[in-house]
Structure 1
Amino acid sequence: MSRNRDKSEDKPKRSAYDKALGLLARREHSRRELQLKLRQGGYVGDEASSALDRLGEQNYQDDDRFGEMLVRSRASQGYGPLRLRAELKSHGLSDARIRQLLDEADVDWVASAVTQLRRRYGAKAVTDPAERVRRAQFLLRRGFPAATVRDLTHAEVDELADESD
């Protein structure tokens, strides 16, 4: 029977610090995200908190750096500011910091929305109201503000009217 033992029983359990450091070696994580992963791994209480504090003091874990990375990454994937705000909030960043990150982001949100529309639907103008609604819903799901979506979906209609003159 001893041959069928789980091999994990042979190894001593890693410290919370080592576990979190291993996660950070792969990619940036928010403090909240690391806390959740440590809790799921069976690390609770003071051990997890002190490990996260130590990682922060050593500058291995930094919510500001994580936020900057997330904004860059998601914006390059074509997501809008509302989606980014929600994701950053879910990682425990403060509203003030989220506002600052989005303000400092070097992103033209309107151009990004246009790029997403063209990538998904091409450059063809739309006359069908149902198709305009589909396109607007697509942009809203990606996290672009309603005013931007309204302007862009109507802009395509206006361009069609200009072509027919």
Structure 2
Amino acid sequence: MAAQPDAWSCALRLLSRRELSEAGLQERLRRRGFGEEEITQTLTRCREYRYVDDERFARLRARQLLSAGRAVGPALLIDLKQQRIGETVAREVIAALEEEFSQAEILQELCQRRFPDFDYRTADDRTRRRVFNYLRRRGFAPALLFQYFTQER
């Protein structure tokens, strides 16, 4: 019979696959049946070695979502909260990345990639709503969308 792995080994295995938030790692260890004391010790050790860092995780996650055009603004904040990042850290990370990423540029790139043949002026109402709602779900403000689609290109 094989020996049960300890929480530290399990945490290292999980973190070798992908970056995780502290709460995400805690949840995964809990699901694997480790006790609270062992989880607490493991998380403390992970923090000491900087294997988990919520700010770094949030920055990487936000940068990935922004560069892919999958989330901006409020949708980005919601995603980070779902990843169990604290609101303060999430807002700080988003504010720092707003200087680096322009929502208008992200919108333009996303529209060119996802809807290359879409023309707001000639599209029917159903198609307009479909495109508009797709972009709203990703967090783009309606004012930015109207400005983008009504400008001369």
Q: TM-score range by the shorter chain?
A: 0.7 to 0.9
Larger Rg: 1
Selected match of 2:116 from 111, 122, 134: 122
Q: Paired residue for 2:51?
A: 60
Match of 1:94 in 2: 86
Matched, 1:149 2:145: yes
Q: What is the rounded CA distance, in whole Å, between the counterparts of 1:124 and 1:73 in structure 2?
A: 25
Return the alpha-carbon distance in structure 2 between the equivalents of residues 149 and 77 of structure 1.
Answer: 18
Q: In the TM superposition, what are the counterparts of 1:1-165 in structure 2 within 5 Å?
A: 10-79=1-70, 80-105=72-97, 106-126=100-120, 127=122, 128-153=124-149, 155=150, 158-159=151-152
Q: How many matched pairs?
A: 148
TM-score (norm 2): 0.87
Pair 1:87–1:76, CA change in 2 (3 A): same
Deviations 1:56-95 (A, max 9, x none): 1111111111011101111121122222211111222222
The answer as to whether partners of 1:71 and 1:84 remain within 8 angstroms in 2 is yes
Tell me, what secondary structure is at the counterpart of 1:66? Answer: helix
Q: Structure 1: any 5+ residue segments left out of the alignment?
A: 1-9, 161-165
RMSD over aligned Cα atoms: 1.8
Deviations 1:17-45 (A, max 9, x none): 11111111122100111111111111131
Q: How far 1:124 sits from its partner (Å)?
A: 4.3
% identical equivalent positions: 29
Give the residue type in structure 1 aligned to 2:33: G
- Determine the structure 2 residue equivalent to 1:5: none
Partners of 1:124 and 1:38 lie apart in 2 by 46
Contact 1:82 1:145 in 2 (8 A): no
TM-score, normalised with respect to structure 1? 0.81
One-letter amino acid of the structure 2 residue matched with residue 96 of structure 1: T
